[in-house]
Amino acid sequence: MFEIEVNGRIIDASPGETILSALKRAGIRVPTLCHMNDLMPSGACRICVVEVEGMRGLIPSCSYPVQEGMKIKTNSAKAIQARKTIIELLLANHPDDCLYCVRNGNCKLQGLAEEYGIRERHFTGKKSRGNIDITSPSIVRDQSKCILCGKCVRICEEVQRVSAIDFVGRGSKTVIAPAFNNNLNVSSCINCGQCVLACPTGALREKSYLREVSEALADPEKIVVVQHAPAVSVSIAEEFGIKPGTDIAGMMVAAFKRLGFKKVFDTSYTADLTIMEEASELVHRVKTGGVLPMMTSCSPGWIKYVEQFYPEFIDNLSTCKSPQQMMGALIKSYFAEKEGIDPAKIFSVSVMPCTAKKFEAGRPEMGRNNIFDIDAVLTTREMARMIKMHGIDFNSVVPEEADLPFGTRSTAGKLFGGTGGVMEAALRTAHFLITGKEMKSLKVEQVRGLDGVKEAKIKVGDLQVGVAVISGVGNASKILEQLKEGRKDLHFIEVMTCPGGCVAGGGQPIETDKEKIKTRLQALYTIDQTETLRTSHANKAVQELYKEYLKEPLGEKSHELLHTHYTKRDVLV
């Protein structure tokens, strides 16, 4: 370590790190637009420029290495004027529709304009008039709002390794788009929405179904029900200024009731059901010499990734539907029969941390008798907007429990919200199914945390089970390539599309800071540590469903409602 001077203050710096890295560690803020943590700097936006004594011109702090004895001014008159000029140039051809933009109040460009006191237009440019691409079931692209920072390209290519979008054209005609400037529906996009989280403006957003849900709630002929995913209750609080990682499940259920939903169900219940089916499927494959390693199937972006890029592993995927789709199927079968309701009159809504769930709900195999299991998917962000729209104050609501018959869950089902959670829940139940006994410690430390790839050997009875947990599909190719080369020591692989799992899904609050992601994940671990029902197979509500309706895991009724199939698809479909 050596010392540098910043704004008259001495701070420590490490050889080889950038100026920005040293400044951030010291708690000194410099604004950025194009910078992405953990990726090589691009230096594209120049918003982070600083003045260094003895150097001509301004230096981009995100890409320039520190040197011993540097004297830096982060907010000199020259640096501030340069930033203001860059912001004014970006605004010169940016649409003036902030009042209508989904990112109004949460736009980095808008925030910088406010921070640097932009109050008049110094540059006049031709307003961007790019096409709005609404072809994707999950994501909307508005090229007119794109500032060419490149963050969406980098997250798609360098992190997720999907490369659905890139810079197209040259010079002033450059845009960001799929190959040949096509639309997203004919690209390799897996609908994960990580590009939406990365985008600093409203150039990328989720396709909203708020209007359809509002119309259904206003229709007296509709029975509108809603389910909420495990990760939503530990993240939606941030949209209302509540401490990150706070679990507000009860308050959220009460808010949903105020909105007019007839029933509020907990998707963690069908996460428990997924474990019953998935763990049984794993045990069956191990005992009968089935296709191994088995891979999880509850993350729809991952499913599309396999269908497009690694179709040779389709048979390795569990045939289980995701918890969202299991819940949807049960609502329009078991629940409808139990309540004497025509399934066609039920409007089934799910609140998910994921944009790819919108795509999943529209898959043709996800329904029966020309009725889709799920009618509309709202992201965590959309539901927060809806709650705000109706003036619901969380401080004034009395917490309520989710409704029966799909309201009781174990903490294993709740763990589905984070990377490693499906694996941990499945191992708990697989151990019980094989040995008839509970694991000595239900906490499986080896599969916890935010690492992109985690591997472990877990003793289950006489069997040494090889497991891998993958966070972010970009990391999946490493294991898949090893399997193609003949690796044989893995039995079960969990893959979550988004880095960190559902707590960092593409439909979550716009926040990519790792510390906030950690707080959401830790909230799930805290729930698991503090509650008593910690295994899916011990959930009496799930046991009752089998006794009354499904009969047994992997049985005829279970296969009809809870299992599906996947098909190789062309990479451009």
Q: Could you list the active site residues?
A: 278, 281, 298, 318, 357, 360, 365, 502
Whether the CB-CB separation of 207 and 102 falls below 8 Å is answered with no
Quick one: which H or E segment has residue 424?
helix 421-435
DSSP 111-135: HHHHHTT--S-----PPP-PPEE--
Q: Is 301 exposed, middle or buried (0-12, 13-18, 19+ CB in 10 A)?
A: buried
Q: Is 557 exposed, middle or buried (0-12, 13-18, 19+ CB in 10 A)?
A: middle
Structure token pair of residue 371: 């009725």
Neighbours of 119 (CB within 10 A): 7
Q: What is the DSSP letter of 463?
A: E
- Sign of the dihedral through C-alpha 403, 406, 412, 417: negative
Q: What is the DSSP letter of 324?
A: H
The residues with which 425 forms a beta bridge, in sequence order, are none
Whether the CB-CB separation of 330 and 550 falls below 8 Å is answered with no
Whether the CB-CB separation of 240 and 501 falls below 8 Å is answered with no
The two counts, helices (H) then strands (E), for the chain are 19, 20
Terminal Cα distance for the chain, rounded: 52
Whether the CB-CB separation of 417 and 527 falls below 8 Å is answered with no
Neighbours of 169 (CB within 10 A): 11
Q: Name 339's Cβ contacts closer than 8 Å, sequence gap at least 6.
A: none
110: amino acid identity, one letter? Q
The residues with which 348 forms a beta bridge, in sequence order, are 225
Whether the CB-CB separation of 434 and 283 falls below 8 Å is answered with yes
Q: Name 108's Cβ contacts closer than 8 Å, sequence gap at least 6.
A: 33, 200, 201
The residue to which tokens 């105020």 are assigned = 258
The runs of H, that is alpha helices, within 436-500 are 473-484
Nearest to 176 by CA among 159, 198, 192, 160: 198
Query: For the packed helices 473-484 and 300-309, what is the interaxial angle rounded to 10 degrees?
Result: 40
Distance CA(134)–CA(512), nearest Å, equals 25
Q: Are strands 132-133 and 139-142 parallel, antiparallel or unpaired?
A: antiparallel
Torsion of CA 473, 459, 425, 309, to 10 degrees: 20
Torsion of CA 534, 537, 538, 543, to 10 degrees: 140
